[in-house]
Structure 1
Amino acid sequence: MYPIGSTVMILNVHRTSKLQERYSGPFTVSGYTKNKAYILIDPQGNLLSRDVATHHLKLINANAASQNTTKDGHYEVRAIIAHRGTPGNYNYLVHWLGYDSPEDHTWQTEKDFDSKHHIQLYWDRRNAGTNSNRPLPASVNNTIQ
């Protein structure tokens, strides 16, 4: 299910020519029916006159606020991308999951993290080429639950 607030396009099922647009939109997901169809809103804020099945939708942009926070209101770390400071007193530049703009990256201290997993992954990736005896680091793509 796409989160409420996501931006989607609708498949044009009445297309009669390759020259016609394959998708129409954009629309915003405003809710769901009990049959798991989507209730959509057009850019002017009007409800679409029909409900749309999942297989007729193409996700354009997921709503970051509803998708990227955990149940307890914490944001999820996509990756740590830099550090500053001295050993034992580092600040880490965090790329948050769903916030891809560089303006959304923030500096955090080590105590701000719920888990040391991302910090360890950062240092493993940072030092990957320095010692051939070390195991290869995990990909940040595989750390997202």
Structure 2
Amino acid sequence: MKRHKILEKPFPIGASVMIKNVESKNSETDPKYEGIFLFTATLKMIKLIDESPDPIYEQDPTEIEYEVQAILNHRGKAPNYEYLVRWKGFDSSWDTWEVPANFDSKEPIKLYWSRLGAANADSNTKRKRAPKSVNKRKVATREERSSKRHARLIDTRRPTTTP
């Protein structure tokens, strides 16, 4: 049983290839393949020369800046809010949750809070509770319960007269 694939047709000259990373793969996060190599010539074995043109990414993707169209929603509690952001030029499938540190300007956040009618967007104050008198439920005393019970008993004992 063959365990290795033997290439019957060699790579065409000028083809871009990648080599499987077998020797230096120490963890799962290491890349499976190395570089993009340009196939230049065939000798007894395949010869690869690294003459790759410009790098794949001309600009680091983390350095690209996007413009905020609007902040749609927020989640979490102050000061750990996350904002649902709609990006300018993108549809709703590209909306993302972002923390305030990811914004270059705090203007979209202030505009969002002003739209919601919040007085102070940067305040870290907690919601004010209603006074205890509002939150307490009135519990009837023993006398009140017995007088209500007594009144019900009297009503049930009275004969009803039909005119």
Taking structure 2 as the reference length, what is the TM-score of the superposition? 0.33
- Structure label with greater radius of gyration: 2
Taking structure 1 as the reference length, what is the TM-score of the superposition? 0.37
Q: Say which structure is richer in strand.
A: 1
Q: Say which structure is richer in helix.
A: 2
Higher RCO (C-alpha 8 Å, min separation 6): 1
